[in-house]
Chains A and B, each alone.
Chain A
């Protein structure tokens, strides 16, 4: 069974960098696409971006200038760095695995972590 677990600071100051890590069990990080999604309180879902095990990434155009994703195959983890954060970045952040069917370039999301709340505040 594939399981994902987000970790990282729950509070980040404005203008600083938000850093989160997702630890994967039950699957190899070297395969499949690994995705970050966020959800502000009471609002809908926003796709942040994804990274393949090789390190190739695709980002949401609206966040691209502030976003970096990476993978650590030795730890079976992938990470998110979002720079210059503001209150608008306050949200529950989810990591997820894209579907493994080789039918389309982008994926729907088969497995999700439980989510972690990140608050941007001084």
Chain B
């Protein structure tokens, strides 16, 4: 299995803050990484794919970077709708997810 880790597990922030979440893979996955946003009681929604590509319809304040084993998701200016849990997922091999990062209100 390719193990995925995320940091931090919880992040407290305010509207307008720049927010960065880190995801690490236990072995190289190239750029085959996706990011999802999940709100309570809802299905996850894809934000980014292939590490840096923005899914259609997702606001441009979201961006992704990284390759091989280290990746980041950045929200340039946090909006009220962005308080949620974020998961990374590798799909270089059979897919595995990170444990999630919850962004809550400071």
Instruction: Please list the residues of chain A having a beta carbon within 8 angstroms of any beta carbon in chain B.
Output: 44-47, 58, 60-61, 94, 96, 99, 103-104, 106-110, 112-115
Interface of chain A, main secondary structure: loop
Interface of chain B, main secondary structure: loop
Number of chain B residues close to chain A: CB under 8 A: 24
Task: For the A-B complex with A47-B96, A106-B93, A107-B91 known, give 15 more contacts whose Cβ atoms are closer than 8 Å.
Answer: A44-B97, A44-B98, A44-B99, A45-B100, A47-B95, A60-B94, A94-B43, A104-B32, A106-B32, A106-B94, A108-B34, A109-B34, A109-B44, A113-B43, A115-B43
Closest residue of chain B to A4, judged by CB?
B43
Q: Mark B77-106, 1 if CB is under 8 A from A, else 0.
A: 000000000010101111111111000000
CB-CB under 8 A from B34, the residues of chain A are 108-109
A44 to B94 alpha-carbon distance, docked (Å): 16
Is B18 engaged at the interface, CB distance under 8 Å to the other chain?
A: no
Determine whether the beta carbon of B94 is less than 8 Å from that of A109. no
CB-CB under 8 A from A112, the residues of chain B are 43-45
A112 to B50 alpha-carbon distance, docked (Å): 19
Smallest CB separation, B35 vs chain A (Å) = 9
Contact of A109 with B92 at beta-carbon distance under 8 Å, contacts A44-B99, A45-B87, A104-B32 already known: no
- Give the most central of A58, A96, A107: most B CB within 10 Å: A107
CB-CB under 8 A from A113, the residues of chain B are 43
Smallest CB separation, A98 vs chain B (Å) = 9
